Structure 1
Amino acid sequence: MIHPYLECGQIVNTHGIRGEVKIVPWADSADFLCQFSTLYIDGKPVKVLNARVHKNSVIAQLEGVSDVNTAMLLKNKVVHIRREDANLPEGTFFLADIIGLDVVDENGVKLGTLKDILSPSRQQVYVVEGERQILIPAVPEFILETNVDGGYIKVRLIEGM
């Protein structure tokens, strides 16, 4: 099921005394989060007055948050965006959309279902649950095709996977 709202980060702290918040983005780039004029916290829209990247995080001034005490109330809150507000380049997708897809080998044989995506370093690893668990590095050598509309990910396995 395609969800209308997507988790995109978490407010981890305040920044300064004027009510700015520090958001750790759950995206490839902090710049991605800076493009949105409205974020959603606890299901409610919050206007973004200003946002900038700072050390792989986003420092944002949100409407109605003008002091550190108010900002502190938002600490640990998950931030969402509306899917329709995000303009993804052709051929890209939200990670949330591929969790649950069937994973098939080069011959179309189902290996299992994508259950999780690990990010132990800068490289993502797909966790596939089937007859056994398979960990697949999310690189072009192994991920041949991701077809969200078709409901599958085609992979190439090597011996030992």
Structure 2
Amino acid sequence: MENYLEIGQIVNTHGLRGDLKVMPWCDDPEIFDELAYVVIDGVEFDIEKSRMQKNMVLLKLEGIDHINDADKYRNKVLTIPREELGELPEGTYYICDLLGCSVETVDGKNLGKVCDIIKTGSNDVYVVEDDSKKQVLIPVIDEVVKSVDIEGKQIIIEPLKGLID
């Protein structure tokens, strides 16, 4: 597991006073309101102010006070130490921890590794790719996903009839 979690990317500046427009990479962008700081390229920046604007987060970081300063950070990724977010509820996982997990059936058949996760609204779907680049979509529902071992990077599933045939 990574010690830092990527929570968004700076996509543009906003205004002349150094505000940053951030595309959030988290389910709940309001998490930015609770954070005291973010890390960019290994450097901590205190958050002076954060607010939502449409699907973006506008951030004002300490020490970035002009559009020219802010422009240097365009396309940079924002991270935070994992411990800043606390414990996740049981059965929920960070996407970065699921990516690369090996997926096997309860019978021991290796299906490949999680290469992407699709959010459908009702449930997530794991995109699992094998060595030949063939992909299979696995719905993240209790009837299918039997266990997730983040430390061991392994997910065990019991596929519904026709799911992987």
Scaled to the shorter chain, the TM-score interval is: 0.7 to 0.9
Aligned pairs (5 A) from 1:78-97: 78-91=77-90, 92-97=92-97
CA separation of 1:54 and 1:142: change in aligned 2, threshold 3 A: farther
Residue 112 of structure 1 pairs with residue 112 of structure 2: yes
Aligned to 1:17: 16
Give the drift of 1:138.
Answer: 4.1
Mapped partners of 1:89, 1:160: distance in 2? 29
CA separation of 1:88 and 1:57: change in aligned 2, threshold 3 A: farther
Supply the RMSD in Å over aligned alpha carbons: 2.3
Q: Does the 8 Å contact 2:128/2:138 carry over to 1?
A: no
Give the drift of 1:103.
Answer: 0.7
Mapped partners of 2:127, 2:100: distance in 1? 11
Give the drift of 1:108.
Answer: 4.1
Segments ≥4 residues shifted beyond 6 Å: none
Aligned pair count reads: 159
Give the drift of 1:131.
Answer: 5.7
CA separation of 1:131 and 1:73: change in aligned 2, threshold 3 A: closer
Aligned to 1:139: 140
Amino acid at match of 1:147: D
- Gaps (5+ residues) in structure 1? none
Amino acid at match of 1:156: E
Aligned to 2:154: 152
Mapped partners of 2:5, 2:139: distance in 1? 21
Q: State the TM-score, normalizing by the size of structure 2.
A: 0.82
CA separation of 1:89 and 1:118: change in aligned 2, threshold 3 A: closer
Q: State the TM-score, normalizing by the size of structure 1.
A: 0.83
- Gaps (5+ residues) in structure 2? none
Mapped partners of 1:131, 1:9: distance in 2? 30
Partner SS state of residue 66, structure 1: coil
Mapped partners of 2:135, 2:159: distance in 1? 10
Aligned to 1:99: 99
Q: Does the 8 Å contact 1:39/1:81 carry over to 2?
A: yes
Amino acid at match of 2:16: I
